[in-house]
Chain A
């Protein structure tokens, strides 16, 4: 009798489990749809902070914009890292156009370097390191 009762409950258990799975899937789909399109490469501010802490400035600078556009939460750290990226890019151009001080690119680079160096916040120590690294490579390359 007991066995018969248990057997009669099996379909209800199966339906219960399937309903739970379905509900879970529906919730995941709704959350995914609500969060909208994000690129696969999306990563968190914490990940960037960690990369900065390990001295991977170039890595962050080359990656930050695409995240910046996707994660416009206006967080201070994100804005600071965007400034690091701008500083890296403008420093590359600054030295590359050093012999053309009258060119618009050089002037823009000088301006962006100054502006971004002010906006690095907690990462302001990075500016001198980037400058050092880029300058060193530049001098070796043109001195070749």
Chain B
């Protein structure tokens, strides 16, 4: 702009004209404008900063809560399946030691410790990844059912045995027997499962059946003649014979 007194060049921010020294009539108004402008600018700036801070803080809180919530949910899911996870970990570890486990199983099988065989197999979670121990599975199946029968005989010999539900008891024995027959006489015909039926394993299975029969004769009152045809009977007929014999034995006690 130019000075209105000497027409010399001057800036609006100059309080006086640098050429003639006359006062700049626009200076005061400009100073006030600038101060207003600066104050408004600072207010706006403070507002923007405050709003941004608020927004950032809010975002941070929401994000933190969301992440924590997601992590808690994840932990709950993991806890819910913790047995499955630990089982899988244990199984993988056992599968690495499959040779050692197989050795122990063989020892129990050879020494006729069938209950220990079943218990050991159960304690080592290899059942569902059993490829490595495939050949022992049918023997395990037999051992496990033999264990059921031994447990039932234990109940029967115990003074605390309840005689109130003999048909259920007989049905339990029959169910274990039926499972044994299925393994020994049906599964054996399945070529896919031939690995499970080596001569040694078949001899073990026969021994298990023999022991089972001895237990049934010794403690459930079955007779040699009952045993002979037992495997060819229907399930209900077999249960009925076992129940009848138990009734006879328990009847003798009264």
A residues apposed to B, CB below 8 Å: 11, 14-15, 18-19, 21-22, 25-26, 28-29, 32-33, 35-40, 55-59, 61-62, 65-66, 68-70, 88-89, 92-93, 95-98, 104-105, 108, 133-134, 136-138, 140-144
Closest to B250 in A: A140
Q: Is the interface of A mostly helix, strand, loop or mixed?
A: helix
Q: How far is the CA of A108 from the CA of B221 in the complex (A)?
A: 24
CB of B163 to closest CB in A, whole Å? 12
Residues A25 and B120 in contact, CB atoms below 8 Å apart: no
Q: Which of A11, A56, A59, A93 contacts B211 (CB 8 A)?
A: A93
Q: How far is the CA of A28 from the CA of B80 in the complex (A)?
A: 12
CB of A134 to closest CB in B, whole Å? 5
Q: How far is the CA of A62 from the CA of B150 in the complex (A)?
A: 8
- 20 more contacts with CB within 8 A, not counting A58-B155, A69-B123, are A15-B61, A18-B72, A21-B72, A32-B86, A33-B89, A36-B86, A55-B159, A58-B157, A65-B115, A69-B124, A89-B115, A89-B150, A93-B214, A96-B217, A96-B219, A97-B214, A105-B112, A134-B219, A140-B249, A141-B249
B residues apposed to A, CB below 8 Å: 61, 64-65, 68-69, 71-72, 75-76, 78-79, 82-83, 85-87, 89-91, 111-112, 115-116, 119-120, 122-125, 147, 150-151, 153-160, 211, 214-215, 217-221, 245, 248-249, 252-253
Known: A22-B75, A26-B75, A70-B123. A55 touches B160 (CB 8 A): yes
Known: A58-B158, A92-B153. A141 touches B220 (CB 8 A): yes
Residues B119 and A144 in contact, CB atoms below 8 Å apart: no
